[in-house]
A and B are shown apart, each in its own frame.
Chain A
Amino acid sequence: MERNPLQRQVAYMRRSLFDQGYLDEQFVQLEDLQDDANPNFVEEIVTLFYTDSARLIHNIEQALESRPLDFIRLDDYMHQFKGSSSSIGAKKVKNECTQFREHCSARSAEGCVRTFQQVKQEHTILRRKLETYFQLARQAGLAN
């Protein structure tokens, strides 16, 4: 089967997302679930993740503003965030969530604030990469 240049680009991009540690094996599980009945399953669940995590980010930001910090509540939000990240294979985001939770356990306000910035950063980077990836994949599919 001959791949057109776009398809090669898509494959390359996909490969690097894994190699650079943005995605893990769970993403492959999602790809395997995609079928004729649900041809856009991966993109749908990723979109759902970004909608849902926007809500969590907002909640965490608010919680980080209250004094004293409610570490239990923060940890609870982050537990949810980490769970969803894990479910879509968002490896770096998941790891940052783990860091955050460690600071919650240590009751370190500074640690929480700092790592939360990292969580948001990875979250945004991945969203942009995946948006590009899905767009490219669609173009490559159409170009057939």
Chain B
Amino acid sequence: MGMATEAQFHVLAVDDSIIDRKLIEKLLKTSSYQVTAVDSGSKALEFLGLQEAEQRNLSPPSLCPSQEMEVNLIITDYCMPGMTGYDLLRKIKESTSLKDIPVVIMSSENIPSRINRCLEEGAEDFFLKPVQLSDVNKLRPHLLKGKAREEEEEEEEEEEEEEEEEEEEEEEEEEEEEEEEEEEEEEEEEEELSSNKRKNVEESLSHDRTRARFNGLEVV
């Protein structure tokens, strides 16, 4: 399929502070993630849009192949000039192609209303700065969930195809069975016509007790 033997998760980090970018990059790399760090929400969208366009056009490798560009998680600072982390989160969740990418927000300020607003908007998690290795360790389940969702969708598609095939097979079988049954019935009818009536009645009585009950011959 052309995938790297060790599929690495690719995280897009967004922070206007050069120190925090260096820090988050190191934290993520230490945790074996591939990292792209940008300094603004608009640059992040540009990067994601670029990746989006590539996957649509399957453009020639003038840039990296789309496999490498795939973003598995976005971690963004909240307080940034221009587009805040919250604005970025909203734009991502509003995008049909990007909305399934898990987003985590970072902030130096512990403001519950801010945290809730982000979580309500669809952020997976909220980290207080300075971000630590223990926080980054919490990312894995979010990443796996995103991956699992992707794989689930692929599996579902495969299953649907299989089901369709099975249904077709079943239909064919049923048709064959029906044909066989019709043949059998014809044979039976011929037999019945040639056998005596008593046998007929017995058969119908034993096979059809409900009818027998209502013909008045039943003794309660």
Contact = CB atoms under 8 A, between A and B. Distances in A.
B19 A88 contact: yes
B57 to A, nearest CB: 36
A87 B26 contact: no
A33 B19 contact: no
Interface in A80-96: 80, 82-84, 86-89
A129 to B, nearest CB: 19
Interface residues of B, number: 16
Nearest to B107: A83
Contacts of A87: 17, 19-20, 23, 129-130
B115 to A, nearest CB: 17
Contacts of B20: 83-84, 87
B130 A86 contact: yes
Interface in A24-80: 26, 29-30, 32-33, 35, 37-38, 41, 44-45, 48-49, 52, 79-80
Contacts of A38: 26
B58 interface: no
A45 B23 CA distance: 8
A26 B19 contact: no
A49 B20 CA distance: 10
A33 B130 contact: no
Interface centre among B20, B22, B130 (most CB of A within 10 A): B130
B26 A48 contact: no
A80 B17 contact: yes
B108 interface: yes
B116 interface: no
Contact of A33 (B17, B26, B79, B108): B26
A62 B217 CA distance: 113
A86 B129 contact: yes
Contact of A29 (B22, B29, B132): B132
A83 B30 contact: no
A72 B31 CA distance: 38
A44 B25 CA distance: 13
Contacts of B132: 29
Given A49-B19, A52-B18, A82-B108, A33 B27 contact: yes
Given A45-B22, A82-B108, A87-B20, 6 more contacts: A26-B130, A33-B26, A35-B30, A48-B22, A83-B19, A84-B19
28 contacts: A29-B133, A30-B23, A32-B133, A33-B26, A33-B133, A35-B30, A37-B29, A41-B26, A45-B26, A48-B18, A48-B19, A49-B19, A52-B17, A79-B79, A80-B17, A83-B17, A83-B19, A83-B20, A83-B129, A84-B17, A84-B19, A86-B129, A86-B130, A87-B17, A87-B19, A87-B23, A87-B129, A89-B130
* For the complex of A and B, 4 pairs with smallest distance between CB atoms: A84-B19, A87-B130, A83-B108, A87-B19
